[in-house]
Amino acid sequence: MILPLVKPRFLSLCLFVLFLLMELIQFSHIFYFKTPLNVYSLHLMWGEFKEIALASQGVLPWGLFHVFVLLCVYGTLIFLYLKIQSKTSFIATILLILLLSILPYKALFKSPHIRNFVPRNDDISLLNDLKVFTAYFLIYLKTKNKDIPKYLPYELSYEKVSPRNIVLILGESVNANHIALLGYERNTTPKLKELALNDENFIAKKALSSSVLTNVSLPMFMNISYNHNDIQHILNENTHLFKLAKQAGFKTYYISNQEESLLSYMSSNFIDVLYTKENYALKSSKIGDLVLLKKLDELAPLFKEGSNFIVFHQRSSHVPYKDQYKGYKQADVFPLSRDLNQNIINTYDNSIIFDDYVLSHIFEKFKTMKTPTYILFVPDHGETLGELGENNQSEFHHGFLSKNVANIPIFASAYGVKKDDEFIKDLRQIFTPTHYELGVALAKLMGFKIINPNFKQGIFYINGNDLAGNNGYIEVLKQGEKLEFKTHSP
């Protein structure tokens, strides 16, 4: 609405052309990679222009379709703009400049971190363009480690496995210290405890997440990423769990109570059946993760036969904790408190009681199905609730570099398989498994052996809150039953 009023008029025309160029790059990226353009892809694009041009020849002429559509849309816009003769004014120009300075202002002064400029699947493409290009030119090009580190590619070997369900439950912000099954004094996991008593394959143990933030740990875990800064491996998606599952002939399901925007990390090209929060938004706001159980009941007949890779994605226990369990009255055990920290802990523990109900329900459901099923619960990262950090300060919530945020629980079992199953045996043996080791174990269940030439025995990494590893990381040294953490601050 402002553009026709802008003085001088060629300024608006320049803007149209700029938008068109950004949209061309954006849609080419979506066409080719099926995800919105991000800062790192943009950077790689300049360096590998020749390779991309060669690769894109294979998808012509369909690759030209979006170019044609964009040219039509912007051509019409420019044509109409030239036809409409309105009064112009410098006030409109100032307004336009103010509007267009919002993102550069954020990038330069208010929140100069790439993580604040991550494109979203559910945003309009022009907003994603502005975010990514602003972050690229005003933040990324100023960072020291611009060059994306080169690691050796993983090698894969494959051997077909017997038909089975592989169930992965992705948790949200779960702190291992608040799990009764792992020694917490409050009984936050009554149902899982009962399940564990009657299931000789049941495993509950502490583990370590690959990062401290959803947007970093999900792509790292789903891609079985080992190094904290192997962005190239993540962008390639060569060992993405959904891709591997499809390659091994599994039918793939993603049933999530999180937003569609997280699909950017799920390689959605390789998902056959997909539900996100948007599919049941109203219900989700009322009953939270119970929507996952409803979907499970609905789809369960499909899981009785064949090979399925089923991923559930929980929203609980994300802040605000007390909103997570309002659909399950029995979770309201610990009262609201006037003491701020106590209130955080009480409502958090209630949310874990709710998780306990949801998780045990999913485990039970597959247990009664009699189909060979492997089931694993892994949170994206932990959540601190007053644990002491390196500088002896109490830490709360997540998103910052601390080993306490990576402290997660895992639960696993196997049903309808022979005693002494390899997956269960392996998992029992691994002391404090990391996201990476769990990813390797899941790939193995699908029939893949991952040979990672970058792997160093006994060394693992916890990335900070930047996907490219530019915001610090923690080196984890594992020796026998001993863990040592070395923090590398940014």
Task: Give the interface with Zn ion as residue ranges (CB under 5 A).
Answer: 172, 214, 380
Nearer to Zn ion, 214 or 384 (CB): 214
Place of tokens 């002939």: 249
Nearer to Zn ion, 23 or 383 (CB): 383
Amino acid (one-letter) located at 379 = P
The least distance separating Zn ion from the CB of residue 214, rounded to whole angstroms, comes to: 3
Which of 195, 487, 246, 138 lies closest to 364, judged by CA? 195
The least distance separating Zn ion from the CB of residue 424, rounded to whole angstroms, comes to: 27
Residue nearest to Zn ion according to CB distances in the complex: 214
Nearer to Zn ion, 38 or 214 (CB): 214
Nearer to Zn ion, 164 or 381 (CB): 381
Nearer to Zn ion, 172 or 237 (CB): 172
Both tokens assigned to 387: 């644990």
The least distance separating Zn ion from the CB of residue 253, rounded to whole angstroms, comes to: 21
Nearer to Zn ion, 132 or 212 (CB): 212
Nearer to Zn ion, 22 or 114 (CB): 114
Q: What is the DSSP letter of 160?
A: -
Q: What is the DSSP letter of 213?
A: S
The least distance separating Zn ion from the CB of residue 324, rounded to whole angstroms, comes to: 13
CA 463 to chain centroid, in Å, comes to 14
Contact at 8 Å (CB) between 39 and 132?
yes
Place of tokens 């937003």: 259
Give the count of beta carbons closer than 10 Å to the beta carbon of residue 190: 16
First to last CA, the chain: 43
The least distance separating Zn ion from the CB of residue 171, rounded to whole angstroms, comes to: 9
The least distance separating Zn ion from the CB of residue 289, rounded to whole angstroms, comes to: 14
The least distance separating Zn ion from the CB of residue 471, rounded to whole angstroms, comes to: 16
CB-based burial of residue 479 (10 Å sphere; 0-12 exposed, 13-18 middle, 19+ buried)?
exposed
Nearer to Zn ion, 246 or 381 (CB): 381
Place of tokens 């912000």: 173
Both tokens assigned to 84: 């409409």
Q: Tell me the HSE value of 335 on the side-chain side, using a 13 A CA sphere.
A: 3
Both tokens assigned to 481: 């039953």
The least distance separating Zn ion from the CB of residue 451, rounded to whole angstroms, comes to: 30
Radius of gyration of the chain (CA): 24
Amino acid (one-letter) located at 301 = P
